[in-house]
Chains A and B, each alone.
Chain A
Amino acid sequence: MQSLTYQRATSIGEAVSLLQNGGDTARVLAGGTDLIVQARERKRDVSLLVDVKHIPELIGVSYSPDTGLVIGAATPLYQVYGNKDVKEHYPSIVEASSVIGGTAIQGRASLGGNLCNSSPAGDSLTAMMAINAIAHIAGPQGERDVPVEDFFTGPGRNVLEAGEFVVNIHIAPHQSGTGGAWQRFIPRNEMDIAVVNCGTYLALENGSVTNARVALGAVAATPIMVPAISEILIGQALNDEIIDMAADAASEAATPIEDMRGSVKQRKHLAGVLTKRTLAIAAERAQS
C-alpha cells in the first residue's frame, strides 16, 4: 500500500476542510471496496483517506410520503435493500443494490461509492438515473444538488470539484401508477460486472404513458439516458409494437466498446432486450 494517512470525519464541515487541506490526493473513504483496492494497486494516488462513515447525514435510510427517500451516501448496501420502505416502494433500487458484489462487499459498499467511482458499468447508477435520483453534494462553496443523470463526465470521472463529496441521494416519493425495474446481463448468476445493465421507470395514467425514463450502463463512456425512448412512449398506450420500438431505440443509442465482457453487437442487442424486459416489469408494477 502507498504511504497514506487516515482521518475520521464526524461532521460535513470537518470532512470538507480535511478534503480541502488534503489536496488532489485526498479521497473520501466510504465502504472502501473500490478505493482501498485502487490505492493498493496504485490505480489512484491517495495520500489521505477521509472516512465519512461517522458523519450522521451519510449513514441511514429514511422515507416520508411527503418528501421521499433519502439514502445516506455511505450507507452499506445491505441496509439499503433491506430497508422496508425501499423494498415496498423502490424495487429497482433493491434489484440493483442487491447484486453488487457478494455478501461481504454489500456489508461495506454504498450507493454513494458506486456513484463516485463512476464506472460506466456501475450497477446502481442506471437504477438511480431512471428513477431520477438526485445527488446532494457538500463542498467548500456550500451544498448543491445534481441529478444522477448529469453526474458522470467520463469513465471514472464526474462533476465533483475539489473538496466536494456526496452527502446523500434523494428520490421523490412513490406515486401510484408508477413503477421502476432494473436488470443486468452477466454470463453467470452473481458476482460479475455487467455486460449491459438497464434501469427503467414508467408512469401510467388510464393506460397511457405519462413519463418514461430508460438508462443504460456499460454501453458508453458513462451510463446514459435514452431520451428517444421517452419520446416514443410518452402519450402512447403500451403494446408489443411500441415496446419493440423502444427496444430498437435502446440498441441504437448504445455505443459500446468491444472488450472481454462482450462485443459491440452483443451489447447493442442486450440493450434492446433489457429495455424490453424492464419496461414490461415496470409497467406491471405501475399497474399493481
Chain B
Amino acid sequence: MAKIVLNTIINGENREFLADERDSLLEALRERLGLMGAKEGCNNGNCGACAVIMDGRLVNSCCVMAAEIEGAELNTIEGLADADSLHPLQEAFLENAALQCGICTPGFLMASKALLDENPDPSEEEIRWWLAGNLCRCTGYDKIIRAVQDSAQRINSSS
C-alpha cells in the first residue's frame, strides 16, 4: 500500500511522518506517531473517544483521513498538560471524579477544551449540548458536566 509523507503541526511541534494512504487520522496518530491518547471507540463518528482539535475545531479523528491533515494544525490530549502541571480541565476531572474507566476521557477533555476556548463561561445546557457527541458509559455525565463548570470557574478566576 502506498505510503504518503505528511507535514503537520501537532501540539505546537512540526511533524513530518509517513502514513498509509488509507489511514484514518486516528490510525495515523496511534500507529504511525505513537500518540495513543485518542481512543478508538465506535470508529464511526458516534462516540467521540477519538476527538482531537484540527485547525481550532473539534473533529472525530476516525472520520478524517490522515491525508487530509497535510498542512493542518492539530491539538491532541498529549499536548493538554504542560511539562509541570495538568490543565485545569484535567485537574477538575480528577477532583470531580469525572471518569471511571477513562476510555472516553481524552475525547471529553478535548471536546471540553474546544468548548471553553470558544465559550469561556458556558451554561449547563450549553455544556450538555456541546458534549452530546461524546459518550460515557461510567459516570452518568453529571460529574463530567460539574467538572467542566468547575474548570471554567478556575480558568476565569485565574485570568
Contact = CB atoms under 8 A, between A and B. Distances in A.
A159 interface: no
A105 B44 contact: no
Interface string B104-136: 000000010011000000000000011111100
A78 B46 CA distance: 17
Interface stretch (B18-26, B80-88, B93-101, B145-153): B18-26
B133 A102 contact: yes
Provide the main secondary structure of the chain B interface.
mixed
Nearest to B20: A1
A32 B132 contact: no
A170 B57 CA distance: 26
A5 B21 contact: yes
A107 interface: yes
Contacts of B48: 102, 104
A44 B23 CA distance: 17
Give chain A's interface residue range (CB within 8 Å of chain B).
Answer: 20 to 34
Given A103-B111, A104-B111, A76 B65 contact: no
A121 interface: no
Contacts of B62: 36-37
A136 B62 CA distance: 30
Interface residues of B, number: 35
Given A102-B134, A191-B132, A108 B63 contact: yes
Nearest to A101: B133
A76 B58 CA distance: 12
A33 B64 CA distance: 8
A53 B67 CA distance: 13
A104 B22 contact: no
Interface of B: 1-2, 4, 21-24, 27, 43-46, 48, 51, 54, 57-60, 62-65, 67-68, 70, 111, 114-115, 129-134
26 contacts: A2-B22, A4-B21, A4-B22, A5-B2, A5-B21, A6-B67, A8-B67, A8-B70, A31-B63, A32-B63, A33-B45, A33-B60, A33-B63, A36-B24, A36-B63, A36-B65, A40-B44, A41-B44, A76-B57, A103-B131, A104-B60, A105-B60, A107-B58, A107-B59, A108-B59, A108-B60
Given A36-B63, A107-B58, 17 more contacts: A1-B22, A1-B23, A6-B4, A32-B64, A36-B64, A36-B65, A37-B44, A40-B44, A49-B67, A53-B68, A101-B45, A103-B115, A103-B130, A104-B45, A104-B111, A104-B133, A107-B57
